[in-house]
Chains A and B, each alone.
Chain A
Amino acid sequence: MKPFRYSRPDSLDHAGQLTSDADARAIAGGTNLIDLMKLQVETPQQLVDINTLSLGEIADAENGGLSIGALATNTATAAHPRVRSDYPVLARAILAGATQQLRNKATTGGNLCQRTRCYYFTNIDQPCNKREPGSGCGAIDGIARLHAVLGTSPHCIATYPGDMAVAMAALDATVQIIGPAGERSVPVRDFHRLPGDTPEKDNVLEAGEVITAVTLPAPVGGKQLYRKVRERSSYAFALVSVAAVVEMDGGRIARADLAFGGLAHKPWHDPRLSELLVGEEPTAALFDKAADLLLEDAQGYGENDFKIPLARRALAATLAEATGAEL
């Protein structure tokens, strides 16, 4: 690990000042950042330990929602009585990720900001435009089993690896951010970026900005499901995952808020799916049409070609379970 200065801010403003330096990194749980520092993928000059800030609270928000502090651990969030009863898709997504040891340290803000697990990104002997802009993408013609099939660019085909944010995207949660220009709110659906020609930027957070919380909207009825397809039944990243918030009314779909993990550089939310599904009777043919729409621009890179039919089947299975339809 490269040497660095270690500091503890005494306020949010102070944290913003310290992290506005391009060579500084905020650290919360550290389960991803410390790993990347050992691999010298991340080599910050300064580590800003934000655990001194009071951002761990999970509390009722306005209009019946729930605010999850940036420093609330994944364990605390998944075990919270209101998350379990009102937002089960979020509890399920968190519990489907990592291990208890990691979830005990991992935080809301850190989980949103975790980096890709692309093998080329985490190996400093390999080319990677995300780690070293302009060095090329090793994955496009290389080992790409975990990689994206939607929203890729010629510069990067990495996936966002997390589960928590996929559920938050389905729930249409909002990231609360404070920075030099004041406070702002960004929907989780817009927080992560597509790689384009700047894959080094994972998300919209600017230098000096700190996530303070994620706000969940008021709970809705119906079924909430998180279906994760992975190589092992525990402790593995998603090949494809589906977060679904689905309500039925008189035999027809009244709500279908869906988000997907493992397919793209961000939790994938396509608003056209909801438009297609709502008002319709749930049938295998309808689910197939939804998959056609979801995957119309999908592109495989050899090793990950399987994700395209897998996403189709995962979507159909999730919608069937949520609506009671036969496949």
Chain B
Amino acid sequence: MPITINDTPHELPDDPRVSLLDFLRHHAGLTGTKKGCDHGQCGACTVLVNGMRINSCLSLAVMHDGDSVTTIEGLGTPDAPSALQKAFVEHDGYQCGYCTPGQICSATAMMQEIANGWPSDASDDLEGPIKPSADEIRERMSGNLCRCGAYANIVAAIAEVAAEDAQ
């Protein structure tokens, strides 16, 4: 079975060493997803696989037979940005922009996780409803580093969209 990336099917690579990240960038030509550390520490390579966020650097492309992958290119376009893409622009949620695709993919999945009621380390109650507070957002986004340190604006962008979602 092929892998589907942003609704387009692709054949898997012959070499099992190809990471999902390298497959997206070099084989599928989708360079929005970024390589930062290549060791699962920085989150720049975050993509959605069957709706769940993962580090694409720590996954082999051949292990994604039949999976559906969404990258930053699949979330929106310059003419029709997603709510998070728009909020990052409006709040200046970046400086150099290198971590931004990973931040936005990660935050997109985070919205669904909160909607599912999944707790985090910052949740006071494991079983209660989740409020997307700044503490919750910081904890849930701790897998995405921003070397420019635009965190305050990243949190503001995500908080705005989370508040809209909650209404």
Where the two chains meet, the residues of A that have a C-beta atom closer than 8 Å to any C-beta of B are 1, 3-6, 27, 30-31, 34-35, 38, 47, 49, 51, 75, 78-79, 81, 84-85, 88, 91-92, 95-96, 98-102, 104-105, 233-235
Minimal beta-carbon separation of B159 from chain A (angstroms): 17
How distant is the Cα of A45 from the Cα of B123 in the complex, in angstroms?
A: 43
Q: Interface size for chain B: under 10, 10 to 19, 20 to 34, or 35 or more residues?
A: 20 to 34
Do the beta carbons of B140 and A100 come within 8 Å of each other? yes
* Given A3-B17, A34-B19, A35-B40; A101-B126 close (CB under 8 Å): no
The B45-80 residues at the A interface (CB cut-off 8 A) are 46, 52-55, 58-60, 62-63
Which residue of B16, B52, B58, B142 is within 8 Å of A35 (Cβ)?
B58
Do the beta carbons of A101 and B46 come within 8 Å of each other? yes
Minimal beta-carbon separation of A167 from chain B (angstroms): 13
Which residue of B43, B58, B140 is within 8 Å of A105 (Cβ)?
B58
The answer to whether B32 has its CB under 8 Å from any CB of chain A is no
Minimal beta-carbon separation of B51 from chain A (angstroms): 10
How distant is the Cα of A84 from the Cα of B143 in the complex, in angstroms?
A: 23
The answer to whether B36 has its CB under 8 Å from any CB of chain A is no
Which partner residue on chain A sits nearest B110 by CB separation? A100
Do the beta carbons of B126 and A99 come within 8 Å of each other? no
Which partner residue on chain A sits nearest B113 by CB separation? A100
* Given A4-B17, A104-B52, A234-B142; A34-B127 close (CB under 8 Å): no
Do the beta carbons of A78 and B118 come within 8 Å of each other? yes
The residues of B that contact A85 with a CB separation of less than 8 Å are 126-127
Which partner residue on chain B sits nearest A47 by CB separation? B16
Which partner residue on chain B sits nearest A79 by CB separation? B118
Known: A101-B43, A102-B55. 13 other contacts (CB 8 A): A3-B17, A31-B58, A34-B58, A34-B60, A35-B40, A38-B39, A91-B119, A92-B126, A99-B142, A99-B143, A100-B106, A104-B53, A105-B58
Do the beta carbons of B40 and A102 come within 8 Å of each other? yes
The residues of A that contact B119 with a CB separation of less than 8 Å are 78-79, 84, 91, 95
Do the beta carbons of B16 and A102 come within 8 Å of each other? no
Where the two chains meet, the residues of B that have a C-beta atom closer than 8 Å to any C-beta of A are 16-17, 19, 38-40, 43, 46, 52-55, 58-60, 62-63, 106, 109-110, 113, 116, 118-121, 123, 126-127, 138-140, 142-143
Minimal beta-carbon separation of B126 from chain A (angstroms): 4
Minimal beta-carbon separation of A312 from chain B (angstroms): 24
Contact sample, A vs B, 16 pairs, CB 8 Å cutoff = A1-B17, A4-B16, A27-B63, A30-B58, A31-B40, A31-B58, A34-B58, A75-B52, A78-B118, A79-B119, A95-B120, A95-B121, A100-B110, A102-B40, A234-B121, A234-B142
Which partner residue on chain A sits nearest B47 by CB separation? A101
Which residue of B63, B110, B120, B127 is within 8 Å of A30 (Cβ)?
B63
Which residue of B38, B55, B106, B116 is within 8 Å of A79 (Cβ)?
B116
The residues of B that contact A49 with a CB separation of less than 8 Å are 63
Which partner residue on chain A sits nearest B52 by CB separation? A104
How distant is the Cα of A100 from the Cα of B120 in the complex, in angstroms?
A: 9
Do the beta carbons of B143 and A101 come within 8 Å of each other? yes
The residues of B that contact A27 with a CB separation of less than 8 Å are 60, 63
Which partner residue on chain A sits nearest B19 by CB separation? A34
The residues of B that contact A95 with a CB separation of less than 8 Å are 119-121, 123
The 5 closest A-B pairs by CB, nearest first: A99-B143, A234-B142, A6-B16, A84-B126, A79-B118
How distant is the Cα of A105 from the Cα of B94 in the complex, in angstroms?
A: 27
* Given A85-B127, A235-B142; A96-B43 close (CB under 8 Å): no
